Structure 1
Amino acid sequence: MSGFDLSVIIDSLPFLLRGLGFSFMLTGVAMVGGLVLGLVLAVIRLSRFRLAAWLAAAYVNGFRAVPLILVIFWFYFLIPLLLNRPIGALTSVLIAFVMFEAAYYSEIIRAGLKGVRAGQWQAAYASGFSYLQALRLVILPQALRKMAPLMVTQGIILFQDTALVYVVSLRDFMTSTSIVANNENRLVEFYLFAALVYYLICTLGGAFATRLKKAETSQ
């Protein structure tokens, strides 16, 4: 094998960018779905309905206690058995990521909601708001400022975790990189390129989270 050659990376960019696009798509879907489901779980956990709160806590603690790769296997192998029909690798991965991330976003949201002073609830009720109105119009906007840096940080971790989809033969950025690296027999070039891409994306995300945190503490 000859010396370091960047041309093989340039020639393979379309294939690598498709893998990167898949990683971004999975990250985006999992973040949005995880935030929506996480919000529901957080509100239930903070409610006065003990059984519902206990079930939500069991969900959150259960998913946080197992590795994501195991959750992917569960949905990829077990759901088709329960439904008695295949659901496909992409569908099973999307479900697995959303449900897994919901457990983590639920804790972030719950901490943010609890961080809002009780007087804000009382002021909202005194203004005639219902519980849901107070939550949507008064509490959530304040909590969001506190939650935003942690949400971005969790999104960075989520982007890194998309590499786990190789176990069900989906082609994220890391899997695409591995395929080309082995086909071209250029492991050094491609894995260095992958490390650089992950470093840049995660560094930019970390800088954004830091800026959000500074903006929140300055208010």
Structure 2
Amino acid sequence: MNLDFSQIVPYIPFMLEGIWVTLKFVFFAIIFGFILGTILALFKINHVRPLRWFADAYTSIFRGTPLILQLMIIYFAVPQLTGYDITPFLSAILAFGLNSSAYVSEIIRAGINAVDRGQTEAAIALGIPYRQRMTDIILPQAMKNILPALMNEFITLTKESALVSTIGYLDLMRRAQVVGADLYRNFEPLLFVGVLYWLMVMGLTIIGRLLERRMSVSD
């Protein structure tokens, strides 16, 4: 089969470093996407029509266009329009965060709408302000319901992070390509980083299950 994994041994530290490089931008993209997605979800259930229209239009645009197109626009078009030489790291955070927020907003909106309406009516009857009502009553209950969907979105984001290799960011995928080009052997490094991606996804899956179990115990 012409396979020789011994040739990639000297490159293993180089490829392992890609785990931290990948997780670093994924972490910031998740935080950014979750915060923006929460804001958009609140816009969607708001009675102010312009806010609902903006949130719906935003979601339509970012869910209706390919993620790689959004990444290319941010990395290549932003410097053309603004003169600012944006880095691959910042481009990755913005593209993945903006894209993820569109999906997160729908997940959170669905979670909020799934909360028993009686909770809201009781809070209004008690005179609890809107902000406190959302942060202390509605959102905590919604988060318990949508945690599996949120973790699935974060896992998807981690897998799709390989797209940043197209803009030269030295993530796991890009490092596998570099090693493959250096050795003129692509299967071994690609298989190796494939295992690393699988391990990261399994780690996130375990964390998600632990969080679900902990939140169910606290009920």
Normalized against structure 1, the TM-score is what?
Answer: 0.90
One-letter code aligned to 1:195: G
Partners of 1:52 and 1:160 lie apart in 2 by 32
Tell me the CA shift for residue 23 of structure 1. Answer: 1.0
In structure 2, the partner of 1:102 is: 101
Residues 130-189 of structure 1 deviation map (CA, whole Å, 9 limit, x = unaligned): 111000000111111111111111111101111111221111111111111221233232
- Please give the alpha-carbon distance, in whole angstroms, between the structure 1 residues aligned to 2:26 and 2:84: 26
Indicate conservation of the 8 Å contact 1:44/1:56, yes or no: yes
Q: Which runs of 5+ in 2 are unaligned?
A: none
Q: How far apart in 1 are the matches of 2:206 and 2:154?
A: 13
Once the two structures are TM-superposed, the CA of residue 5 in structure 1 deviates from its matched residue by 2.8
* CA distance in structure 2 between the aligned counterparts of 1:125 and 1:101, rounded to whole angstroms: 32
Corresponding residue for residue 116 of structure 2: 117
Matched, 1:62 2:61: yes
**1:190 aligned residue:** 189
Q: Which residue of 2 aligns with 1:89?
A: 88
Instruction: Give runs of aligned pairs for residues 31-180 of structure 1, distance below 5 A.
Output: 31-180=30-179
Is the 1:149–1:212 contact (alpha carbons within 8 Å) kept by the matching residues of 2?
Answer: no
Q: CA separation in 2, counterparts of 1:211 and 1:62? A: 34
CA distance, structure 2, for counterparts of residue 84 and residue 200 of structure 1: 39
Q: Does the 8 A contact of 2:151 with 2:204 survive in 1?
A: yes
Shift of 1:59: 0.2
Where structure 1 has 5 or more consecutive residues not aligned to the other structure, the ranges are none
Q: How far is the alpha carbon of 1:118 from its aligned partner?
A: 0.6
Report the Cα distance in structure 2 between the residues aligned to 1:9 and 1:129, rounded to whole angstroms.
62
Aligned-residue CA RMSD (Å): 2.2
Give the count of matched residue pairs: 218
